[in-house]
Structure formats: structure tokens, C-alpha cells
Amino acid sequence: MGPFKDYILRAIEDLKFKDFTEVQKAVWDRFNSEKNILVQSKTGSGKTHAFLIPIFQNLEENVNIIQAVIVAPTKELSFQIYKMAQHIASFSSNPIDIRLYSGGTDRMKEIERLKVSNPQIVIGTPGKLKDLCIEENVLKLYTAKYFVVDEADMAFETGFQEELDQIAAIVTNAKFMFFSATISNQILPFIKKYMTNVEYIHLEELSASIQHIWIPLKHKDRIDVLLSLLNCFQPYFCIVFTNKKEQCIRLTEILSSKGYNVGMLHGDLNIRERKHILQDCKMLKYQYLVATDLASRGIDIEGVSHIINYELPKDFEFYIHRSGRTGRMYKDGIVYSLYDELDNAYLDSLNQKGIRPNYFEIKNGELIEFKGRNTRSQRVKPKMDYYTEAAKFVPKEKKVSPGYKKKRKAKIEDIAKRLKKNEQKKKKHRSGK
């Protein structure tokens, strides 16, 4: 990568980058091509700087129009990108106008300022950008050379299809760049509509080693197992995930009463409260954070050493996104998941996705490895004897007529063929072929 502008080099040096990640190299190599870019890469692989660095490299600092539009699905993620962009711009001798539009601010002041001038780089959430661009017609996005959507799958999953569609229809002259950890079916129609000339970059590499450890409840109370687990290790920073706000609040109260230094993050907190919590986490005022899936996507809290799935997420993909909060930027991480017998099918599905866990149980205050569940992938199903099965459908007759054995055998063979055919159809259906 490179050569870079002087201020970008100073920013990179301040970030203490030893080397660029695979996704950063891949995007840099293709940034100036005429093709749009669709990037699928694991969380923690450095996607944000993969698009920020080349945007600044191609920015015309003396041209005071919108040159880049960066969209993120949540206020937290857009603020995070904004802070990263501000960091790079702070090393420039020329002022660079970067503005964040994500709600929770004085809307009228934003509109009045936009009537006077537009920024050079716009970062924001889809709903807010649509409001200022289309409803108020003060944000002039049509001049943009680059249109970036970060965590694209989440943007579509959370219902921003209409807003993104309307914004994309305005930035038609821009280079489109979509970044995501997964590519869902919801994104595909949009890609076909707006990204016909597209290069797909799919990087499987992991930036660190993440160990997955599954712990059975064995009919014990979930909170008791969690408290026993927390006594087994001393984390640098640990996120405990729950599925619902009510459980998040209850669990935070319990851990706090037990003397744990714990914060809480869920969807009902306002933007100021969320920012305050995240800042406290980054400053290590807390050692533990109890969170709903609000924190599983795109929120980069440095130094997360442990993840605990107090409850398994209903969506398999969220297990991946939760896990991605640890093991970031070449650091190792551990993901603990509490499960019971009802979760067997869920865990089988994760196993099929390539996640190979170790199984531990807690005995006398220590984590002890054991053989673990008998997953479907480990079960050996005996090969079906179709003839024997078919014979059950053709019982023997008491009175035997001439040629009976031959006729019975023919019937059995015919049924056996049909059984085999049906079994093959089921296998094809299960494999998705």
C-alpha cells in the first residue's frame, strides 16, 4: 500500500500499524478501478480503515463539496467511524470538514449550517441522511465520488432498505463500496440494481485466534453457572450477552450486587447514555459489560478478552457477530456459551458452520474438559438396509400360491427402490441442492 499523503502517514504512524490487514490491502489495490466493491470479511479485520485511508488519499482538501458519503446502521457505529475519520484529518495542515448525522442532535442547527455550506465527508445513519438530503434538500449528496455502507447486512436486516434505495438513487455517480461480515439474501436485490459492475472480495482469514468453549447447564440455574464461571478466570475486559433488555438489566443488578465492576448496554438507553457507557468501557472503568445484541455489531471496544453467551442468540449469525467482539486485530480471545439440552439442534447447526468448540464443565471451582455433546456430525448413522425395511411392508402369507416367493421378492425390491429414492431426495433437500 502507498505512497500516502504526509498527513495520512503521520496518522498511520500514530495508529501504530505494524502492517496492513488483508482486507485493507485488497481494497487499496482495487480502490481506483472503475468497478464497485462488495467486501465480505470477518469482524475485527480492519474494514473501517480499509475504506477511510483510500478516501482521504483521494480527497481534494481544497474542494468544499461532499466527496464521500459513509453510511452505518447504528448511531454507535457511525460515531465510531466519525472519530476514526477525525483522527486521520487531525494530522492535515488543511482543515477537512467532516460531519456526523445520526440523530440526538439539534436538527435545526444542522439544517441552517448546511444551507451555508456542505461538508467534504458525510458520515451518518440512513434515516438521518434521508431526512436532510431528501426531505429537507439541504444535504447535497449527489456530488459524492464515494458511497460506503458499513455493516451492510445489518442495515438491511434492521429495515433500512427504503432509505438506502433512495440515497443510492441520488449518488449515482459515486463508486459504491459495501462492507459486511456476512452477505444475506436481503442485500442481493439492491446489489443487482445499483452495483452491476461489481467486484466481490471475500476474505476468510481471521485476524486472531478465537477459542470457543461450551458449558452445559445440567439442569442448574443459569445465573449460578455464570457466577461459577466468572470465578474461574480474570478477564482484561468481558462482555456478557443476553437476548432481551429485561434480562440484561436483571443480570447487571445481580453482578453489581456481587461486587463485579459492571456496565450495561441495551437498546432503550438514549444516545448520550450509550456513548457514556462505551467511553467508560474504553477507559476500563468497567471490567464487565452486560449487553444485548446492540453491542454485537460494529462496536469496537479495544481489549475484549472474553465473551460469554449467557443466552444463545436466536439467529446463528449473531453468534458470529458476538464472537467477533473479541480476537480483534491480532489478539486472541475466548467465547464461552452456556447451553442446555434444548439447544442441541442449535449447536449442531453452528458445528456445521465450521465452529469446533471445546466442551468444559465446572467442578470444584475449576473448568474441567469433558467429551462433550454427541453432535449429529459425530453420530454414525447405520446404512439403511432398504430390502429389510421394504420387507416389513410385504408380510408373508399363510397360504402360498404358485410363484408366490418370486412375486413377493419383486414387490419388496420395488418398494426398496422407492425407499432408496426417497432417502436420496431427503439428503439433497438437507444439503440445499
> Model confidence over 343-379: pLDDT tens digits?
777 777 777 666 778 888 898 888 888 876 654 444 4
User: What mean pLDDT do residues 296-324 have?
Assistant: 78
pLDDT of residue 380: 37
Q: Is position 380 within any domain?
A: no
Angle, helices 75-89 vs 6-15, to 10°: value is 120
CA distances to 13, 14, 51, 59 from 91, in Å: 11, 10, 18, 14
Q: Please report, for the domain that includes residue 312, its CATH number.
A: 3.40.50.300
Q: How far is CA 94 from its chain centroid?
A: 36
User: Does 255 share its domain with 296?
Assistant: yes
User: Does 50 share its domain with 184?
Assistant: yes
pTM for the full predicted model: 0.58
User: What mean pLDDT do residues 10-19 have?
Assistant: 88
Q: How confident is the model at residue 382 (pLDDT cuts 50, 70, 90)?
A: very low
User: What mean pLDDT do residues 383-390 have?
Assistant: 62
Question: Would you give the DSSP letter of residue 40?
Answer: E
Q: Is position 176 within any domain?
A: yes
User: What mean pLDDT do residues 23-48 have?
Assistant: 84
User: Does 67 share its domain with 11?
Assistant: yes
CA distances to 258, 267, 270, 271, 278 from 274, in Å: 24, 9, 6, 5, 6
User: Does 295 share its domain with 168?
Assistant: no
User: Does 150 share its domain with 217?
Assistant: no
Q: Is position 376 within any domain?
A: no
Least reliable range by pLDDT among 89-98, 114-123, 141-150, 151-160: 151-160
User: What mean pLDDT do residues 156-163 have?
Assistant: 81
Q: Is position 66 within any domain?
A: yes
DSSP reduced 3-state for 423: helix
pLDDT > 70 in the chain, percent: 84
User: Does 309 share its domain with 269?
Assistant: yes
Alpha carbons 80 and 299: distance in angstroms, whole number: 8
Alpha carbons 181 and 90: distance in angstroms, whole number: 29
Q: Of 203, 228, 243, which one is at a domain's C-terminal end?
A: 203
Residue with cell 505494524: 18
pLDDT of residue 376: 44
Q: Of 168, 203, 238, which one is at a domain's C-terminal end?
A: 203
Q: How confident is the model at residue 226 (pLDDT cuts 50, 70, 90)?
A: very high
Question: Mean pLDDT highest for which of 11-20, 36-45, 111-120, 303-312?
Answer: 111-120
pLDDT of 431 > 60? The answer is no
User: What mean pLDDT do residues 141-160 have?
Assistant: 87
Contact 104, 276 (CB under 8 A): no
Q: By residue range, what is the domain housing residue 252? A: 210-369
pLDDT of residue 9: 95
Cell of 13: 504512524
Number of domains in the chain: 3
Looking at this protein, which amino acid is placed at residue 333?
G
User: What mean pLDDT do residues 61-68 have?
Assistant: 96
- The count of other CB atoms within 10 Å of the CB of residue 282 is 14
User: Does 215 share its domain with 126?
Assistant: no
User: Does 51 share its domain with 12?
Assistant: yes
pLDDT of 44 > 60? The answer is yes
User: Does 217 share its domain with 199?
Assistant: no
Residue with cell 453432535: 375
User: What mean pLDDT do residues 133-152 have?
Assistant: 94
Q: Is position 173 within any domain?
A: yes
pLDDT of 275 > 60? The answer is yes
pLDDT of residue 414: 81
pLDDT of 169 > 50? The answer is yes
Q: How confident is the model at residue 383 (pLDDT cuts 50, 70, 90)?
A: very low
pLDDT of 17 > 60? The answer is yes
Q: What value does the mean pLDDT of the chain take?
A: 83
Phi and psi (nearest 5°) for 132?
-75, -30
pLDDT > 90 in the chain, percent: 38
Q: Is position 233 within any domain?
A: yes
Contact 74, 131 (CB under 8 A): no
pLDDT single digits (tens) 76-111: 889 989 999 999 999 999 999 999 999 778 899 999
User: Does 354 share its domain with 426?
Assistant: no
User: What mean pLDDT do residues 23-47 have?
Assistant: 84
User: Does 155 share its domain with 43?
Assistant: yes
pLDDT of residue 378: 43
Alpha carbons 32 and 326: distance in angstroms, whole number: 32
Query: What's the order of all strands across the beta sheet hosting 210-216?
Result: 262-265, 288-291, 238-241, 306-309, 333-339, 210-216, 358-363, 366-369
Q: Is position 1 within any domain?
A: no
pLDDT of residue 206: 43
Looking at this protein, which amino acid is placed at residue 122?
V
Cell of 266: 441495551
User: What mean pLDDT do residues 177-184 have?
Assistant: 80
pLDDT of 59 > 50? The answer is yes
Least reliable range by pLDDT among 50-54, 204-208, 253-257: 204-208
pLDDT of 65 > 70? The answer is yes
User: Does 10 share its domain with 131?
Assistant: yes
pLDDT of residue 144: 97
Pairing of the two strands 358-363 and 366-369:
antiparallel
Q: How confident is the model at residue 264 (pLDDT cuts 50, 70, 90)?
A: very high
Least reliable range by pLDDT among 137-141, 174-178, 402-406: 402-406
Query: 2-34: buried (b, 16+ CB within 10 Å) or exposed (e) per residue?
Result: eebbebbeebbeeeebeebbbbbebbbebbeee
Contact 126, 167 (CB under 8 A): yes
Q: Is position 381 within any domain?
A: no
Bridge partners of residue 337, in order along the sequence:
214, 309
pLDDT of residue 346: 74
